[in-house]
Structures are given as structure tokens and as C-alpha cells.
A and B are shown apart, each in its own frame.
Chain A
Amino acid sequence: MLTDILITTLINASVYAMLATGFSLIFGVARIINLAHTAFYMLAGYFIFSFTTVLGLGLLPAMLLSIALVVVIAVLSYRILIDPMREHEAAVLIITVALAMVFQELMLVFYGGHFRSVPQLVSGYVTVLGVRVSSQYVVTIGALVAILAAVWLVLMKTRLGLAIRATAQDREIANVMGMDVSLISTVTMAIASAQAAAAGALVAPLFILEPRMWLYPLTIVLAIVVLGGIGSLKGSIIASAIIALSETLVTFLLPSGAFLKGAFSLGVMIVVLLIRPEGLFGVSFEGER
């Protein structure tokens, strides 16, 4: 059971971390609360489903193709619907919710409300530290962690990453320093949506697909972002671990009360906020604009 708890926590934590860091990135750089973020995660799952079952592609090409498709959709919606509205914060909020609803309803129309599932990428078991674990879990966790690490490296070590971080701090000055902020925002949107899509693609074989599957992760991602401090990647990752652990503990220790996992995680968030209003890793400077 301990290994089960550990594995579930790891999977959930890395999925949440992927979603939350992407959400945080796009929030920081483009200054939008993108409530459609987890809808990209849902879309990726469905695309894989259609590519594998309808087109008969292999799982790996289907995953890559669906991530690419989600990125295209995300970038187009950003350029056409969201970016021109940046100055109307409230309108952007609603547009992103409505977009998520549009995606959800499209999936309902095309696939119906039934639960769908996707074949596993690898089969069999491996032994990790003397415990037999499904290979699919190991591959999923490995891939998620690798992608997170790659995003981290891009942000911290490359010129593009520096431009993204600088734009998140001050768009105007970044622009004066020669950075094309609208291009950088678009690239950030692409990275963030690719992260969400990759998370969706990687867990699609483990979870059940359902058009409303974006809603619950959305609330949890918002909680994680608040908990970790908006704009702090490290905070998002640690908060993901905290929330995933509390969720898993509730599910395993209180099997009849699994419906409480969301409530419990959000309760944890509120308690932390009462103690540290700026989140675990948020920073605030006096007199900042």
C-alpha cells in the first residue's frame, strides 16, 4: 500500500506540476488567467483516442501528433481571441472559460459523454527497489519529470528563458530591451499548452477520458498556484507535491470518503494561505507597481 500511495502521489504530483507550471508561466508572461488551460489537457487525451482508434496510429506518434495539434489550437485561440483583448481583463476571463466550455461540448458532440480509454504505451512490470510496479507508471513518471526538467532548463539557462522571465517582470522594459514581447507571449503560450497537452497525453492511458475531466484539475491547479505563490515555478512544484500527497492520503486512508479529496486539498490551501498570504514561495517587494 505504501508503494501505491507513493506511486499515485508521484503521478498526480507530476501531472499537477506540469499543469500548474504552465498555468503560472502564461499567467506571468501574458498576464492572463487562462481558465482553458486544463481543457488543453483534456483535448490531448481525446486526440490520442481518435488518432489511435480512428486513424489507427501507434500510441507514440499519436501522442506527438496530438500535442502538436493542441499547441496549434492553443496558439490560434491566444492570437485570435485572447491577445487582442488583453486590456479587458474581465472579458479575457470569460473568454477562456467559454473556450473551455466550447472544447468540452465539442468533445461531447463528437465522442458523447461515455468514458473512453486509451491503450497503454508499454506493458509489463518492472521491479523498483524490490517492488513490482507497472511499467506504464514508471514511463509516465519518468517522462513527466524529464519534461518538467527540460522546461526548467529552458527557463533558467537559455536566452529565450531569460526573455520569458524578463517579460513576466515588466513587459514594457522587456520591449525596450529589444525583446519582441508579443512573440515571446505566443511562444510561452505554446510551451504552456504543450506542457498541458503532454501531461494529458502521458496520463491518458492511466485515466479515463471524459469531457468534463478539465474541471477538477482546474480547481486543483488554481489552488496549487495560489499555494506555491503566483509566478514561482519552484513553489508550484512543491505545492503540487503537497496537494497530490494530501489527495492520495485521503483516497487511501479513507476509501469511503474519496469524494473528500478535493475538499481536503483546498482546505490545506486555505490553511496555508491564512499563515502565508503570499503563498509558500511568493515574493513581494515594497512599492512595486
Chain B
Amino acid sequence: MNPRRLYRRFASEVLVLPGRTTVLAVCLVLLILPLFHRHPYTLRVLSLTFIFAIFAASWDLLSGFVGQLSLGHAIFFGVAAYTSALLNLQAGLPPLVTIPAGALVAVLMGLVVGIPCLRLKGQYLSLATMGFPIILTGLVYLFSDLTGGELGVSGLARLGPTRLSEYYIALVLVLGLGLIMWKITDSKVGLVFHAIREDEITARASGINTPLYKLLAFCLSGFFAGISGGLYSHFMRVAGPSTLSVLTSFQPVIWTIFGGVASIYGAIAGTFVLYPLMEFLRVAPELRTLIFAALVVLVLRFMPEGLTPWFIDRVESECPRCKEHNAVTRRTCRVCGAPLGRPSAPGAGPFQPGKGGRVAG
């Protein structure tokens, strides 16, 4: 394809929509940021943000898309963190091997959690999943010879030789895996996930093997959460019981819901905003969590659907005819040419009484 056509295609796919342009701009800024600013602390915070964004997106895949609202997502994160740590320390394997291995164990954990949860619906599932990481924490303490108990496993190999390399590894992974997850939700499988969330019984009645798809969702989500868990343990060079804590389970939920559920990019955006904010609040260590929690409450109170839907609502509008999105500045739809502008509800105007056929008296 010649470059001009390529550019035109790019312009018509990406630049026309403020939402997509913003995503592109953020990616570019993050890619070139170290050229201007490479303070180790900034790089560290951003790398952790990227790692947690993968975690949040994996939660969104399972809970936002398939509607299996998990409150125990730390189990995937923690099991992979411990697996990578132990493989690295005991078997001397490099991160390139231990992280995928941790992710595979997290996939198995997806089966372990998913199979009992297959029979649970909605709220039951959320409440039940919360227990799994706690059970695993119990086991971690039980086998403290191996797991180091309270202190965890420490002294792992670094993710990369320098902070900068770690930054790029994490950045490339969050962009790549984020794209993969987004593609999954956009595919036929994603459609099935949607169907299961909206109405599982009907989905089942249309011949979809819903248990299989739900297990698949658990495993996929476990896989991505596992990668982030492995990355985390190598980045921090320690895997401890905090990776399995209730708070670790709540974090992706908070980030994702704050960013906007069922969109993957919402989860990533939520993490990008909230994780650095939490770090920044270290200036007031006493009040850090308090301010954070209060902010989350207030923001959600006024943007109940989360940050990204709110933002997209401001900068884009939906074509009433073809449902394609358009920049809010456009007058006509870029796809079908229908006139845009705020759709006025037909009932809003004045009505002439007596025009409704034969009005009874």
C-alpha cells in the first residue's frame, strides 16, 4: 500500500475520533517520555502503572465483558507472582521463562476458580470468589519454608538490566496485551461473552456452550493477570502475601470501574490515572488512602459510568441512524451523512390535543 493511502486510512480511522486520537497521543507521549525525563522514580511509578494496567484489563475481560464479577482477582496475580519467584530462585530460570510459566499456572488457577463458580450466578459469584485468595494465603503461610511466610520470596532476578529497559518492557507489554484483549472482546468470542453477560439462559438456549466459554474467560483473564503478576514480582524482586490480599483484589475493580467497565481501554485509563495519583499522594502519607478513597467516591458520584464514557460523551456523539461515533464538532455523520445534533425526544414538544384520531369523551 502506498504511504499516502495508508495515511488517509489512518486519518479516517483514528484522527477523526477524538477518543482514538487521545489514545494515540498518550501512547506516543509514553513512548518518547524517557527521552526528556528519566528520573528513576518516575520510571518506576510508570512501569508499575503499566503492570497494573494489564491486571486491571484482565479483570475487565472477565468481569466487565462476561459479567462474572470477580472480587478475588488477586488469586491469579498472586499465584503467578509466587510461581515466577520460586521458579526463578529455586530453578534459576530467567524472567522470560518464569513469567509465562506463572501465567500458565494462573490459567490452571482459572480452572480451579472457574469450575466451582460455573454453578454460581451474579452476586453469589462475586461474594464467593473473594474467598479464593484468602485460602491461598493460608497455604502460603502453611508452607512458609518454601514461600517465606510473611516476608515472601525475595532476591529475584530483575525484569531488565536497567530501569529504562524495564519501563519499555512494561510499556510494550501493556500496549500489546491491551490490544490483544481488546481484539478478543471485539471478536466472535467477545460477542459470545457479551451474550453471556446480557442473558446467559438465552445464550445457552441458542446453542452456545456457556460453561465452556465462561471457563475460557476465567482462563484468559487468569493468563493476563498472571503475566502482570509475574512482571510485578520480577520488577519488585519480591513476591509476598500482599499479592494475594483483599486489597490487591479490590484494586483492579476500583481502577476499572473508575475508568469505565467493559471496554479494556477504560481499565487501562483508570489505572493510568489512579495509580500515579496514589503514588503522588505519598506527599501526605498519613492522608494518602483517605484522600484517594474520598476522591474515588466523589468522582464516581458524579461520573457513575466512569471516566472514559464520561470523556467520550463530551467529545463524541453517536449518529442516531447508524450508531457510529463522530467528533462532537461534526454536523453530519461521517459514515452515513445523517444530520447530527442532540436528538430531541419526540415527546418533548407541545402536542395538539385532538389529533390522535378519534379521541374518546
Binding site for B on A (CB under 8 A): 27, 33, 81, 84-85, 87-88, 90-91, 93-95, 97-99, 101-102, 104-106, 108-109, 215, 218-219, 222-223, 225-226, 230, 257, 259-260, 262-264, 266-267, 269-270, 273-274, 277, 279
Contact = CB atoms under 8 A, between A and B. Distances in A.
Interface string B284-320: 0011011011101100110011100000000000000
B120 interface: yes
Select the residue from B130, B136, B287, B306 with max chain A CB neighbours within 10 A.
Answer: B130
A94 B296 contact: yes
Given A98-B293, A105-B289, A223 B257 contact: no
B119 interface: yes
A102 B297 contact: yes
A98 B254 contact: yes
Contacts of A106: 290
A262 B138 contact: yes
A270 B289 contact: no
A218 B127 CA distance: 10
A266 B258 contact: no
Contact of B246 (A102, A109, A215, A264): A215
A43 to B, nearest CB: 15
A279 B123 contact: no
Nearest to B127: A222
B189 interface: no
A226 B297 contact: no
B116 interface: yes
18 contacts: A90-B69, A98-B294, A98-B296, A99-B293, A101-B292, A102-B290, A109-B287, A219-B130, A219-B134, A222-B127, A262-B134, A262-B135, A262-B138, A263-B138, A264-B138, A266-B134, A269-B131, A273-B128
Nearest to A100: B293
Does more than half of chain A's interface fall in helix, strand or loop, or is it mixed? helix
Contact of B257 (A81, A91, A225, A264): A91
B182 interface: no
Contacts, number: 126
B221 interface: no
Contact of B123 (A33, A99, A223, A274): A33
Given A260-B142, A270-B116, A94 B131 contact: no
Contacts of A102: 290, 293-294, 297
B32 to A, nearest CB: 33
A260 B296 contact: no
A280 to B, nearest CB: 13
B213 interface: no
B138 A90 contact: no
B47 interface: no
A106 B286 CA distance: 10
Interface string B313-346: 0000000000000000000000000000000000
Select the residue from A84, A108, A219, A262 with max chain B CB neighbours within 10 A.
Answer: A219
A277 B119 contact: yes
B280 interface: no
A173 to B, nearest CB: 21
B124 A230 contact: yes
B57 interface: no
A277 B294 CA distance: 36
A262 B130 CA distance: 12
A240 B14 CA distance: 55
B139 interface: yes
Interface string B233-271: 000000000000010001001100110010000000000
